[in-house]
């Protein structure tokens, strides 16, 4: 194996793979001369070796650690286990990708009965030494031995209760000494042997514990959630402890270089005087804003602000910094790119570029597609009355509505049952991760803006309100009180994460207002992207929304949605039930002006931009009631001896439903198959399109219609449909004396169409990939059936890496797309090709669409901004597999 | 245009495209010196030009015809329209592929009032001249003018009735002259002008009539049925008439060089003295066997026999020869490869090879796959009592059962309604073609072995009994009598075409006995073929049958068919309804020994040959009753106020059916998806397989099991299934202490499997193409829905050339197969690859399978011989698109 142990001064920022994010950061900070306590890093490679060797540390590791440690000892002038000047160490995990709170840490390692007096003497603070010892005992028992920390905590609580005090700090030295003794006794009872006194042995045990914590269930869940490989392993950072809990001139804090909730340019953080860092993050004491540091120690504050600016410039991104002040001296313990909300991500990326710290391209890469999704989260509609019952910290923005639950398990269970829930906890811990995943939003009564709940919720883009002390939770009674009000488990509650308001009942939500920074950033994206973004829209309202979100056209207008409208359905059913072509045409005559009006509205909304209209696609039986219902009513009428007209009508309807029934409607009588067997339906639609186009042209407007034939498998089929379009267009245009330019193309949504694309391209003006159906047929997965029956099992068992209906399957479906593009463009080099399946709005899939040379992606209006960003990122990724956060 | 008119002496046998089959034959016979009346051929190119030029003959055609005709006139010493020595002509169609009886002919052209005396004087037979004139008038009116021939025939019948005679020959000269006058009068009345007297004008009119007859409805139907292109066009042959109706030393006949029904080496034909050829074919007079010619004119007979031998050797195939004897002189009018039954095709091909006339390879090409299908037609089981009500000529073998109909239209209608019918007619004509297509078998009361019904039925491989005079048909009463017995329309009737027996009621049918020639021929096929033939068989009986038919293994054993057996279904349902894994395993425990016995039987039957067993494939709901039925019974019980256990049971069943219900079961929870989500089912099957294998090995038998995973789309899926197979095999084999060799492979039946074949091949020992499902997903056609709803429309409209479920789609499905083979063999060069879809038994598809390099095709046992032949023919076609009859 290569070098297993690095001193901080031996590494740098590029070594994340080997040293982990934290280790590389400490090395980099050391390299650029920041005040970092000295230390060393055991590489991730050692962790991988540990797992390869059946969870055994390499034999030569202790010697290497001991050797590096001697350098640290020399720098600090202290020695591990030394009676007079004992060195205390922190032992922390640090993987390549940050997994906040997921893995274990041991602090204050190096105290034992022997070193305690030395520590007390050295610091002049025996109380502090005892408290450090107590903390270490509890942490070691928990992390290294796996003993319940609650048993230890209970001893402390008992002591405080007996002493009649509330805070740890209020205990006397003697009382703390008793707690230490109690802890050691409890440890000995639990482990059947006394607490180990050799600090180096403790150190190696702690290292192994950190490696073990890589594979806990909660760490695995987190990695799966964030798409982090299980094979990376973690590094271990061993660092000289500095103490924030050495009195009034000491303290610990966590700060972001900019506001992680809204992106404002202000150092944003929290700080506790006389406390170790864990106290800030754990949410046990609600910390003070960073401004408090300015009051307490102006010089330290000034120095810290300079450090934050330097770090932000150095890393070209907003930083999340942990620091400690030990008796007036500032130490930087960690820096990393800070987690942020979508709103903040947009503002920070924009501002950093405008400030000249980063290039525009870098700014585009700083925003993740998921960030934009958050920005577009619907928000609380303020125009309706709201019953605000409490206010907490606005830890993560967005509005959430759900039913109150009080445990992560319950949140998870209800979520699986399809219920939306709000998780209400005093505080959250890494064990609650599955509950946070399951909840719509999180409310905690304790903890600050950097507490576990806040950090995790922001990372996931979930609304979160923290430190809402007005909420008094009673877990046993499964309720909370806010003033006089009692809210029980199962009650409906709304959160407004942007304002921190807790609202009783279900709020109305509305579209977000988008910031100028957002608009600028997406303009940059459009300048960078090659693939255009269109929208799927079936109504004038959707079309207008899509245009407002920056769509450059409509890539899919589904005419069947128009057929479903309540004023049309009766005519549609009349058309289906028609016994003759004449009856069918009579029904279609009613639909013609309605469809014309639809198209008129959509073309108007998209004036000057292309609009792809797909001819009717679904099987006719989708427009009739369900067989079950009709059968039930027929049987009921029959058994009731009904003789009326109604029974006969229902029977006729049932007969028609059965006539149209198909074994596999997905593969049945739909798409152009329908258009070719019932030509009068397509004829009506084509006529309606051209009547609308002609009207708009006569009004002096620009219209770019693209007519699309669905479900094609053969050139002859396509040609027959195209001939009908041309013929009908010719007739309408001749009647009106107007010249219309239009395109006629085809969906590529069945494997055969992809395989015979060269033939189809000879006839088609454009191709549009329908990757929903193409995925269904390529996999032989009926989406409805697969997602309900076996797909969850497949994903859980790792039989498939992704749900292919969410993320485009590059090998199978993508392989067919590549064949189709090559075939089509071999005949027509400039053939217009797009995608209109749901994948058109998914970043990883958009990156693929860019790579294979599509002209546009089309997605739902709300995903248009995300697609615009993803299209730009695909360019910046340089054609390699890109997009996403991995 | 190239040369439009060829004298017979200018052409040869290779010019079928240009001169048509008949023209090329006449030219070839002229070339080799046979006694052929002189003549000329107008090329098929002229016919195509005629249709290109809106049905106008080329302007210079008459001059070219006149010029060629002058050569014919010189050879015969007669001239068209000459008063003293008039030349009479026949004008016949002749397309590239024979379409017997489908197109028009005009005979005796050249007679008019002017030439009649000369013809009478020249032949010394005024009676003959008048009869020829009468025939010509009727034929010209029918063929050229389209007047009903029945109107003319009625005049003749009326004259015979008045004269009190039965046969045409019994009419006196004077009476015949009256008939001629009556005919001319009728013609003038129908056409409003007198009968045209210029013979050359008549000739050009007749030529055009022949061209027109290319595009009659019946000709089109025939071509569609036989897969002949509509674009070929027909040639026209104009030939000096010779007269078989010039008294006792004249006659006409039709003969095959071998027996077309059973293939025996004997000149087989029919002959009518003092008759023209049309009399033989029309079935109006029942002709004499050819042996009669030997008695009547031994010298001519001898000469004819020599000609038949010469022609058979020359054309290297059994010939169908038309001849006429004019006053003791033999003329050969036509020769062509004779239509034959399957049995005859096999024997003739075999015998020609054994006699050294052709090579074995040529013999293999002389038998069409459809011939073998006929040979394997089931036959009448003689062990059951048969009520034979009449006997006729055994015109085309095979047994048929159906309900009696008396018209082609009725046959067609009933057939469309799904009924099997026997068409009973006095005689059939080309207008009856759709009825013959629709019928199971044909029975005529008149006409011989070469009558229309006989020739057409043999061509189609349909059972036919001709000239069954014991059957007296009453069309008006819609019945026939056989002795005392009355058989009405709709009664069940059976025909035994091989023996000529007409049997009342429905006979039992049994497998055919296959001739030694058949066995030899298929042995030759096996020696030639590269692609092996396996069978799809699910039971020991089917396996034994397949082996008897020459299968080299089982390519698909579907285990679900075993689940459907009535003794198993209750356990299968119990397994499905199980609420827990334990309950499911209890039900499976019952199924295990049954499956083991199934596999034991199949392996035994196929000892020493490979057997591919596919693990359970269909969705579980296929084993439960239909939702409709259960819903109906639940509703009925509920409305009846039922309180019993039964209602609860039915409700539970209904709930389970609904739980398992899928939107698109074809793309649903089936195949290995089922095996992975309910692992205990596959485990039981695998265990049963290996228990059976071990038992056989212990008995000293050779077993070659190949276990097949259905519906794979990803390597991980396949690997999970393969791991289960290996694990279970290991356990069973370890328990029994036996070593088993086996393969584990996968179906390639979804596009993704084909596209990712390289990955799958890394895990699979073999591939088997499931082209039924692959066709469904490649086209997005649910077979059930497509064939019921839109596929007939597609085929009728020419939107698809073939039903892709019958004939493998080379471009789409075939394209995926090629990708899969290339992918699979890029990883494992020798990868075993087969096909087990229904296409595996279809000759055109087998040719494709040969071309793309499959190792075997697998088809139903009854198609194994056809596949063996097709596999050999694919080699002989040299890898080009081959097989079939086109």
pLDDT in tens, B331-342: 998 888 898 888
Please report, for residues A363, A405, A423, A431, A477, the alpha-carbon distance to residue A409 in angstroms, rounded to integers and kept in the order given.
39, 9, 10, 10, 17
Chain A: give the shortest CA distance to residue B783, in Å. 8
Burial status of residue A123 (CB atoms within 10 A of its CB: 0-12, 13-18, 19 or more): middle
Chain A: give the shortest CA distance to residue B667, in Å. 5
Q: What is the mean pLDDT of residues B465-470?
A: 89
Evaluate whether B691 touches B596 at the Cβ level (below 8 Å): yes
What pLDDT score was predicted for residue B883?
35
Residue A758: closest C-alpha in chain B: B811
User: Mean pLDDT lowest for which of B383-387, B689-693, B872-876?
Assistant: B383-387
B residues 653-692 lying closer than 8 A (beta carbon) to A: 662-669, 673, 676-677
**Contact call for A667 and B666, based on CB within 8 A:** yes
3-state secondary structure of A834: strand
**Contact call for B663 and A778, based on CB within 8 A:** no
Sheet with strand B288-289: strands edge to edge: B288-289, B268-273, B251-256, B319-326, B329-337
Query: Which of chain A's residues have a Cβ under 8 Å away from the Cβ of B631?
Result: 628, 631-632
Sheet with strand A471-474: strands edge to edge: A471-474, A479-482, A485-488
Alpha carbon A585 to its chain centroid, in Å, reads 50
What pLDDT score was predicted for residue A184?
92
How does residue A629 score in pLDDT terms, banded at 50, 70 and 90? confident
Query: Which of chain B's residues have a Cβ under 8 Å away from the Cβ of A628?
Result: 627, 631
Element containing residue B441 per DSSP (H, E): strand B441-444
How does residue B469 score in pLDDT terms, banded at 50, 70 and 90? confident
What pLDDT score was predicted for residue B370?
79
**Contact call for B636 and A639, based on CB within 8 A:** yes
**Cβ-proximal residues to B127 (8 Å cutoff; 6+ apart), any chain:** B173, B176
**Cβ-proximal residues to A425 (8 Å cutoff; 6+ apart), any chain:** A406, A407, A408, A432, A442, A443, A444, A445, A453, A473
What pLDDT score was predicted for residue A884?
34
Query: Quick check: A117 pLDDT over 50?
Result: yes
Alpha-helical (H) ranges within B214-317 are 217-226, 277-282, 291-296, 298-315
DSSP state, B237? Answer: E
Residue A754: closest C-alpha in chain B: B812
pLDDT in tens, B390-443: 998 888 888 999 999 999 999 999 998 889 999 999 988 877 888 998 999 999
Residue linked to tokens 């609009």: A611
- Per the structure block, which two tokens stand in for A332? 């930087």
What pLDDT score was predicted for residue A282?
64
DSSP assignment of B307-325 equals HHHHHHHHHTS-EEEEEEE
Residue pairs spanning A and B at CB distance below 8 A: 202
Residue linked to tokens 């999180």: A442
How does residue B309 score in pLDDT terms, banded at 50, 70 and 90? very high
Q: A641 touching B, CB under 8 A? A: no
**Contact call for B790 and A631, based on CB within 8 A:** no
**Contact call for A663 and B666, based on CB within 8 A:** yes
The average confidence (pLDDT) of chain B is: 90
User: Mean pLDDT lowest for which of A638-647, B23-32, B706-715?
Assistant: A638-647
For residue B675, give the nearest of B612, B743, B746 by alpha carbon.
B746
Q: How many residues does chain B have?
A: 886
How does residue A459 score in pLDDT terms, banded at 50, 70 and 90? low
Please report, for residues B80, B82, B666, B841, the alpha-carbon distance to residue B114 in angstroms, rounded to integers and kept in the order given.
11, 8, 77, 63
Evaluate whether B778 touches B751 at the Cβ level (below 8 Å): yes
pLDDT in tens, A311-330: 999 999 999 999 999 989 99
Alpha-helical (H) ranges within B666-765 are 672-677, 679-698, 715-736, 751-755, 757-763
Query: Quick check: A393 pLDDT over 90?
Result: no
Burial status of residue B56 (CB atoms within 10 A of its CB: 0-12, 13-18, 19 or more): exposed
Query: Quick check: B880 pLDDT over 50?
Result: no
Q: What ipTM score was computed for the predicted complex, to two decimals?
A: 0.79
Q: B815 touching A, CB under 8 A? A: yes
Partner residue facing A668 (CB), from B632, B759, B785: B785
Residue B466 annotated as catalytic: no
Q: How far apart are CA A585 and CA A588, in angstroms?
A: 5
Partner residue facing A755 (CB), from B640, B750, B812: B812
Q: How far apart are CA A826 and CA A822, in angstroms?
A: 6
Q: A775 touching B, CB under 8 A? A: no
pLDDT in tens, B196-249: 889 999 999 999 999 999 988 888 878 877 778 888 999 999 999 998 878 889
For residue A443, give the nearest of A387, A484, A403 by alpha carbon.
A403
Alpha carbon B221 to its chain centroid, in Å, reads 14
Query: Quick check: A450 pLDDT over 90?
Result: no
Evaluate whether A442 touches A379 at the Cβ level (below 8 Å): no
Query: Which of chain B's residues have a Cβ under 8 Å away from the Cβ of A662?
Result: 782, 784-785, 789
Burial status of residue B674 (CB atoms within 10 A of its CB: 0-12, 13-18, 19 or more): buried
B residues 431-460 lying closer than 8 A (beta carbon) to A: none
Helical pair A16-31 and A44-52, crossing angle rounded to 10 deg: 150
Residue A791: closest C-alpha in chain B: B673
Evaluate whether A468 touches A389 at the Cβ level (below 8 Å): no
Helical pair A44-52 and A199-213, crossing angle rounded to 10 deg: 80
Q: Which residues of B291-324 are buried (b: 16+ CB within 10 A; e: fewer)?
A: ebbbebbeebbeebbebbebbbeebebbbbbbbb
Evaluate whether B214 touches B47 at the Cβ level (below 8 Å): yes
Helical pair B342-354 and B516-528, crossing angle rounded to 10 deg: 70
pLDDT in tens, A686-745: 999 999 999 999 999 999 999 999 999 999 999 999 999 999 999 999 988 899 999 999
pLDDT in tens, B599-657: 999 999 999 999 999 999 998 888 888 888 888 888 888 877 777 788 888 888 998 88
pLDDT in tens, B148-206: 878 888 888 888 889 888 877 788 899 999 999 999 999 999 888 888 889 999 999 99
Task: Exactly one of A377, A415, A452, A621 is catalytic; name it.
Answer: A452
How does residue A880 score in pLDDT terms, banded at 50, 70 and 90? very low
Partner residue facing B793 (CB), from A663, A677, A785: A677
pLDDT above 70: percentage of residues in chain B: 99
pLDDT in tens, B543-556: 998 999 999 999 99
**Contact call for B784 and A663, based on CB within 8 A:** yes
Task: Exactly one of A464, A836, A849, A859 is catalytic; name it.
Answer: A836
Task: Exactly one of B350, B415, B434, B452 is catalytic; name it.
Answer: B452
Q: Which residues of B760-777 are buried (b: 16+ CB within 10 A; e: fewer)?
A: bbebbbbbbbbbebbbbb
Phi-psi region of A608 (alpha: psi -120 to 50; beta: other; left: phi over 0): left
pLDDT above 70: percentage of residues in chain A: 98
A residues 690-729 lying closer than 8 A (beta carbon) to B: 711, 713-714, 716-717, 720
**Cβ-proximal residues to A728 (8 Å cutoff; 6+ apart), any chain:** A683, A686, A687, A690
User: Mean pLDDT lowest for which of A774-778, B375-379, B476-480?
Assistant: B375-379
pLDDT in tens, A804-822: 998 999 999 999 999 999 9
What pLDDT score was predicted for residue A284?
64
Partner residue facing B790 (CB), from A669, A779, A785: A669
Q: B636 touching A, CB under 8 A? A: yes
Chain B: give the shortest CA distance to residue A699, in Å. 40
What pLDDT score was predicted for residue B459?
67
Select the more confidently predicted residue: A247 or A388. Answer: A388
How does residue B75 score in pLDDT terms, banded at 50, 70 and 90? very high
DSSP state, B254? Answer: E
Q: What is the mean pLDDT of residues B439-467?
A: 84
Q: A782 touching B, CB under 8 A? A: yes
Long-range contacts of B76-79 (CB under 8 A, 24+ apart): B76/B37, B76/B38, B76/B240, B78/B122, B78/B240
Query: Which of chain B's residues have a Cβ under 8 Å away from the Cβ of A793?
Result: 676-677
Task: Exactly one of B836, B839, B850, B859 is catalytic; name it.
Answer: B836
Residue A452 annotated as catalytic: yes
Evaluate whether A771 touches A803 at the Cβ level (below 8 Å): no
How does residue B282 score in pLDDT terms, banded at 50, 70 and 90? low
The average confidence (pLDDT) of chain A is: 90
């Amino acid at each position: 194996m290569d070098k297993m142990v690095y001193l901080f001064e031996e590494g740098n920022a590029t070594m994340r793979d080997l040293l982990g994010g934290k280790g590389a950061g400490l090395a980099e900070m050391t390299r650029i001369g920041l005040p970092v306590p000295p230390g060393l890093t055991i590489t991730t490679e050692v962790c991988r070796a540990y797992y390869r060797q059946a969870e055994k540390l390499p034999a030569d590791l202790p010697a290497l650690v001991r050797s590096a440690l001697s350098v640290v000892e020399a720098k600090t002038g202290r020695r591990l286990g030394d009676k007079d000047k004992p060195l205390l160490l922190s032992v922390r995990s640090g993987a390549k990708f940050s997994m906040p709170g997921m893995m274990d840490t041991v602090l204050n390692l190096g105290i034992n009965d022997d070193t305690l007096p030395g520590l007390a003497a050295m610091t002049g603070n025996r109380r502090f030494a005892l408290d450090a010892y107590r903390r270490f005992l509890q942490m070691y028992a928990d992390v290294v031995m796996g003993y319940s920390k609650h048993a230890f905590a209970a001893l402390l609580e008992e002591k405080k209760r007996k002493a009649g005090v509330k805070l740890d700090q209020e205990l006397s030295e003697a009382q703390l000494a008793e707690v230490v003794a109690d802890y050691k006794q409890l440890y000995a009872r639990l482990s059947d042997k006394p607490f180990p006194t050799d600090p180096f042995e403790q150190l190696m045990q702690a290292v192994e514990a950190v490696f073990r914590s890589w594979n806990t269930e909660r760490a695995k869940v987190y990695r799966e959630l964030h798409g982090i490989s299980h094979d990376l392993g973690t590094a271990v950072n061993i660092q000289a402890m500095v103490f924030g809990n050495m009195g009034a001139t000491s303290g610990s804090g966590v700060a972001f270089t900019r506001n992680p909730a809204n992106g404002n340019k202000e150092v944003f953080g929290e700080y506790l005087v006389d406390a170790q860092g864990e106290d800030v993050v754990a949410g046990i004491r609600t910390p003070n804003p960073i401004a408090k540091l300015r009051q307490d120690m102006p010089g330290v504050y000034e120095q810290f602000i300079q450090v934050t600016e330097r770090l932000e410039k150095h890393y070209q991104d907003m930083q999340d910094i942990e620091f400690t002040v030990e008796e007036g001296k500032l130490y930087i313990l960690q820096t990393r790119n800070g987690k942020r909300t979508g709103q903040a991500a947009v503002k920070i990326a924009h501002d950093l570029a405008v400030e000249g710290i980063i290039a525009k391209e870098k700014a585009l890469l700083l925003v993740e597609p998921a960030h934009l999704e958050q920005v577009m989260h619907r928000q609380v509609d303020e125009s309706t009355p709201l019953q605000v019952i409490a206010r907490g910290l606005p830890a993560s923005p967005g509005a959430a509505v759900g039913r109150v639950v009080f445990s992560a398990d319950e949140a998870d269970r209800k979520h699986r049952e399809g219920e939306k829930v709000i998780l209400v906890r005093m505080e959250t811990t890494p064990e609650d991760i599955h509950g946070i995943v399951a909840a719509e939003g999180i409310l905690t009564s304790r903890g600050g803006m950097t507490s576990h709940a806040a950090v995790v919720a922001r990372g996931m883009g979930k609304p979160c309100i923290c430190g809402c002390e007005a909420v008094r939770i009673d877990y046993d009674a499964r309720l909370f009180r806010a003033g006089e009000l009692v809210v029980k488990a199962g009650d409906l509650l709304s959160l407004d994460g942007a304002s921190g308001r807790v609202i009783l009942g279900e709020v109305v939500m509305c579209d977000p207002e988008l910031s100028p920074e957002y608009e600028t950033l997406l303009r940059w994206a459009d300048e960078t992207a090659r693939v255009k973004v269109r929208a799927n829209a079936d109504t004038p309202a959707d079309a207008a929304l899509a245009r407002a979100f920056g769509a450059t056209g409509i890539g899919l207008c589904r005419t069947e949605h128009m057929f479903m409208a309540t004023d049309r359905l009766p005519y549609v059913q009349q058309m289906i039930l028609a016994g003759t072509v004449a009856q069918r045409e009579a029904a279609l005559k009613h639909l013609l002006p309605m469809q014309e009006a639809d198209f008129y509205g959509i073309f108007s909304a998209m004036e000057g931009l292309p609009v792809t209209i797909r001819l009717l696609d679904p099987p006719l039986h989708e427009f009739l009631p369900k067989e079950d219902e009709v059968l039930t009513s027929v049987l009921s009428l029959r058994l009731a001896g009904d003789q009326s007209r109604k029974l006969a009508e229902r029977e006729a309807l049932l007969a028609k439903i059965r006539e149209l029934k198909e074994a596999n409607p997905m593969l049945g009588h739909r798409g152009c198959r329908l258009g070719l067997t019932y030509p009068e339906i397509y004829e009506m639609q084509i006529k309606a399109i051209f009547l609308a186009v002609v009207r708009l042209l006569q009004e002096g407007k620009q219209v770019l219609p693209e007519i699309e034939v669905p479900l094609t498998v053969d050139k002859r089929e396509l040609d027959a449909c195209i001939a009908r379009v041309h013929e009908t267009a010719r007739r309408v245009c001749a009647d009106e004396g107007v010249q219309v330019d239009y395109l006629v193309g085809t969906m590529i949504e069945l494997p055969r169409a992809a395989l015979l694309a060269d033939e189809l391209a000879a006839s088609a003006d454009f191709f549009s990939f329908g990757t929903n159906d193409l995925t269904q047929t390529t996999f032989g997965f009926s989406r409805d059936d697969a997602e309900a029956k076996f797909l969850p099992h497949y994903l859980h068992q790792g039989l498939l890496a992704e749900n292919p209906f969410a993320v485009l399957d590059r090998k199978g479906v993508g392989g067919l797309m590549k064949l189709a593009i090559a075939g089509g463009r071999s005949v027509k080099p400039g053939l217009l090709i797009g995608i209109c399946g749901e994948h058109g709005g998914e970043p990883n899939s958009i990156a693929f669409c860019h790579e294979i040379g599509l002209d546009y992606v089309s997605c739902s209006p709300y995903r248009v901004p995300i697609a615009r960003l993803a299209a730009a990122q695909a360019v910046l990724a340089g054609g390699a597999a890109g997009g996403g956060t991995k």
